[in-house]
Structures are given as C-alpha cells and as structure tokens.
Amino acid sequence: MVQFVGMLAAIGLTALCWGAYGPVLHFGRESMHSSLRPFVCVGAAYFVIAVLVPLLLLARGGERGTWTSKGVLWSLLAGTAGALGALGVILALGFGGKPIYVMPLVFGGAPVVNTLLSAALGRSFNQLRAPFLAGLILVILGAVTVLVFKPQPTAPVAATAVAAADAPAPQAPRGAERVVEVLLSVALALVSWGSYGPVLHRGQAAMGGSRLRPLVCVGAAYFVIAVIVPLLLLAPLGDTGQWTVQGTLWSLAAGSLGALGALGTILAFACGGKPFTVMPVVFGCAPVINTLVTLALAHTPTGAVSPFFLAGMLVVAAGAATVLAFGPRGHAPAPKPA
C-alpha cells in the first residue's frame, strides 16, 4: 500500500512539473527573444538537479543498483529524447505557438508514440485492440479541436511589458504564427517525449532499479545537448536575443520543473510503476495543469476560452488515457524450465 501511494505521489509530481513547464518556459523565451538562450538555462538547471545532486548522494552510498553499460546507454538515449523534446517545445513557442495549445498537442500525441514504442520493444503489436484504436482517434480529434479553437492572443500584461522593455527592434506582430514550423516542432516534442518513458524504464531496469544513476545519465545528455551545443551555435546562427535576469530566472525555473518531473518518473518506476500505467496519468493530467497555469500567468479572461477548446482538451486527455490503458502490455515471461 505504501509503495502504491508513493507511486501516485511520484506521478503527481511529474504531472504537476511537466504541466507547468510550458507556460513558465514561455515567459523566459519572451524575455530573452531567443530560442537557444532559454534552452541553455534549462540544460543548466538539469545539470545541477539531475547530475551534481545525484552524484553527491551516490557518493554517500546506500543507493541500490549498479552502473552497467546497457543501462547507461538506454538512460543517455532517454535524456537525449527529453532534451530534443524540450527543444521542440522551445522552437514551437519561438515560431509563434502559445503554450495553452502547444502543450496539449504534445501531451496528446506523446502517449501514442509511447504505446507504439512500447509495443515495438515488447514485440506485442498483435495485442493492439479496438479500444486502443478508438483512443488514438480521440487523441487526433481532440488535438485538431484544440488547434482550431485555441484562445486568440489577448496581449497578456506581463508579456507585453517585458516585450516593450526588452525588444531590440520591431518584430512580427505578437499574434503571427508560422503554422507549419509550429506543427513540425510539436511533432519533434511529442515523438521525443513519447519515447522518453519506455526508454528510461529500460535504462533503470538495466541498472538494477537504481533511481539516481539513470537520472545522472539524463542530466548528462541534457548538459551536452541543451548547454554545450546551443552555446556553440549562438554566434554561427546569429542569435539576436539577449540575456536578461527575468528571462534567465523563468528559464531556470522551467528547467527545474523538467528535471523534477524526470525524477518523479524515475521514482514512479522505482515504486513498481510501468510505462503503460505511469504515463497515462501524467499525460492525462499535465494538459489540464498546463492550461490552468497558462491562464493564471497570462491573466486571460475566462470569456476568451472557447468551450470547444476545453472540450477538445478533455478529449485529448481521455484519448491519451485510453490509448495507454488499452495499449500492449508485452508478453508474459516464459516459464523457467524445472
């Protein structure tokens, strides 16, 4: 019972952190007028929370599990997927997307990828049934509804003030969106984050159920992809943004939320959860948290939110939960010879 409660608490931590991630990151990107600079801050926060702190705890001993080459490889792949997902979200916001609909699209598509990858890794495509396909259709319909009926820009007070104070030159209208680029970035995020759970689970299992060792590998991958690479690309890509205290703090906060969410996922797995049980709750609750946080931070009047948008968001959440609840469970292990 205690283990089950611990799993629920860990799932709640992940859903809360990842649900708030998008809106918080949006403020950091808006303040620095850059996609690479907030990404660096996200990677820096991951490095502290997911590398330095776990290594200090490991040095004290008492953590179960061992380092294995297989576990390190799978965990590094999970960290790479997480970092690419974060990059996809930042790019989507940079192309004019808004967190109030970008994140529901990501969280709606990610469970589909999660289930298909789990089926591929477990060689259990033959277990796909009608409820799974129905959930897939719900996700697609809900995602389209969210996109069509998304709240229109209302020039939030906080974002407008930051833009007016920090903008180095006239830019495109705040409401302008590059739809194709936003959707491609969302696709990168949902594919990457959809792969994260099953890949990380393999890494943790290969290291004997360790909680801290896979987290270190995730943080190391983030440090390379989200700190070193972006810093090297700032000049060649002609980044015109600027470092600001407010943007740095918002972006560090977003990175901290992402790292704590990753820790929550690992803890949920350590308490006996599996990708097909942990991720439906995460992906089902995170869009709701995302919308509430977005509306609160942007001071959006409730009248600006269409009931069709809310209905679409609920359909996405229901479809995501259905996809994962009725997805393949893998084959039972063969009985050992007597």
Q: In a structure prediction context, what are the per-residue pLDDT tens digits for the chain, which is 338 residues long?
A: 778 888 889 989 999 999 899 889 989 988 999 989 999 999 999 999 999 999 999 988 778 889 999 999 999 999 999 999 999 999 998 888 888 788 888 888 888 888 888 778 877 777 778 888 888 788 878 877 877 787 765 554 444 334 334 444 444 444 466 889 999 999 999 999 999 989 999 999 999 989 899 999 999 999 999 999 999 999 998 888 999 999 999 999 999 999 999 999 999 988 888 777 788 778 878 877 887 787 777 776 667 778 888 888 888 888 878 876 786 665 544 444 44
DSSP tag of 234? T
In the chain, the amino acid numbered 264 is: G
Residue 331 lies in a domain: no
8 A C-beta contact, residue 254 and residue 31: no
Residue 239 lies in a domain: yes
Determine the Cα–Cα distance for residues 122 and 44; give it in Å rounded to an integer.
34
3-state SS, one letter per residue, for 111-147:
HHHHHHHHHHHHCCHHHCCHHHHHHHHHHHHHHHHHH
DSSP tag of 151? P
pLDDT value at position 213?
95
Residue 318 lies in a domain: yes
Please name which of 180, 232, 244 lies closest in space to residue 33, comparing C-alpha atoms.
244
pLDDT value at position 135?
84
Domain count, the chain: 1
pTM of this structure: 0.79
DSSP tag of 61? -
Determine the Cα–Cα distance for residues 159 and 267; give it in Å rounded to an integer.
35
Residue appearing with tokens 């560090």: 252
* 48 CB-near residues (< 8 Å, 6+ apart): none
Residue 102 lies in a domain: yes
Residue 335 lies in a domain: no
In the chain, the amino acid numbered 29 is: R
Cα of 86 vs its chain's centroid, Å? 6
- Cα–Cα distance list, 42 to 5, 8, 86, 222, 263 (Å): 30, 26, 8, 8, 15
pLDDT value at position 49?
95
pLDDT value at position 166?
44
pLDDT value at position 173?
44
Residue 74 lies in a domain: yes
pLDDT value at position 128?
73
Q: What are phi and psi of 147, to 5 degrees?
A: -70, -40
- The pair of structure tokens assigned to 240 is 């015109």
Residue 291 lies in a domain: yes
Element (DSSP H or E) covering residue 30? helix 2-32
Residue 154 lies in a domain: yes
Structural domain of 296: 2-162+177-325
pLDDT value at position 281?
77
